[in-house]
Amino acid sequence: MQISCVIPAFNEAESIPELTAWIDQVMKKNSWEYEVIYIDDGSRDNSWEVIQKLGAENPSIKGIRFRRNYGKSGALNRGFDCAQGDVVITMDADLQDSPEEIPELYRLITEDGFDLISGWKKKRFDPISKTIPTKLYNWATRKMSGIHLHDFNCGLKAYKRDVVKSIEVYGEMHRYIPVLAKRAGFDRIGEKVVQHQARKYGTTKFGVMRFINGPLDLLSITFVTRFGRKPMHIFGLLGSLLFVVGFMAALYLGVEKAYYLSQGIKARLVTENPLFFVSLTAMILGTQLFLAGFLGELVARNNPERNNYLVADEVNL
């Protein structure tokens, strides 16, 4: 099978038939064997009935129904598990992503050798309340990840099958799938300007919480990517630095007090100096951070997946 389309859907009963017909038209035009996997993410309308009807009419249309709404990341992860195509295409079910982009996305993966192609909605039909925060998050993600994409959160993406089988998308990490892919060793990541269409049916399903969750998820994935297997490298370093700073400050106070006493100069108590409490706090925090790194190393060492490295290829094994 050449292409799998993985499409999360939440209350998109009106859009799904039109999107399905559009995808089918593109696939038949290019004579591709394909599958469309809809993940009904706990819809409260009749989206599931629509998917069932389409599946009965066309065996290429498949569906998975969640008992409740788990979010886009959970839907994508389940769809990736089921995808069988050599190239996996993701898009939103709201008709804002155009299936006409599929042929070029497929070519970039199969002929140009990219691991992942991310869409870039250069011209958007979203309100300014959505576009400005999106630009800010994209800038921050570029700086922190080193991946130079303009639109990390674009739902229209293409992947080699190996990519989606090697990553786990959880929480709200669908925004940072390119970062997850790079972490897994797939660094041939490209970008393509794609057409963005105004929403035809319904309203957006993403609320204000995405503005809070987005930066937190970015910090989480950055930390896990860099220090997930070596927590002592961050906690131990910070703890040691804090302890040394605190110890040097306490040593300075002690030497100062000893000097005054040797000179017969009356000096105030060390505990009356605010620097004493700063140094004591720094040493305590430094010790705690160091112990946190040590415990993290123990947890990582006992993790059954600590040596689960992704193998790209083998010879004579």
Q: What is the pLDDT of residue 210?
A: 60
- pLDDT of 121: 85
Q: How far apart are CA 12 and CA 10, in angstroms?
A: 6
CATH architecture of 3-227: Alpha-Beta Complex (3.90)
Q: What is the pLDDT of residue 207?
A: 54
The string of pLDDT tens digits covering residues 12-32 is: 999 999 999 999 999 999 999
Q: Which residues contact 77 (CB under 8 A, 6 or more apart)?
A: 168, 169, 170
End-to-end CA distance of the chain: 28
Residue 209 is predicted with a pLDDT of 57
The DSSP call for residue 311 is P
Cβ(310)–Cβ(183) below 8 Å: no
Residues of the chain short of pLDDT 70, as ranges, are 124-131, 198-200, 202-222, 224-229, 300-317
Which DSSP string corresponds to 166-227?
H----TTGGGGHHHHHHHTT---EEEEE--B----SS-----TTHHHHHHHHHHHHHHHHHH
SS3 116: strand
Amino acid at position 202, single letter = G
Q: Where are the beta strands (DSSP E) in the chain?
A: 3-9, 34-40, 61-65, 87-90, 116-120, 157-160, 189-193
pLDDT, tens digit, for every residue of 53-88?
999 999 999 999 999 998 898 999 999 999 999 999
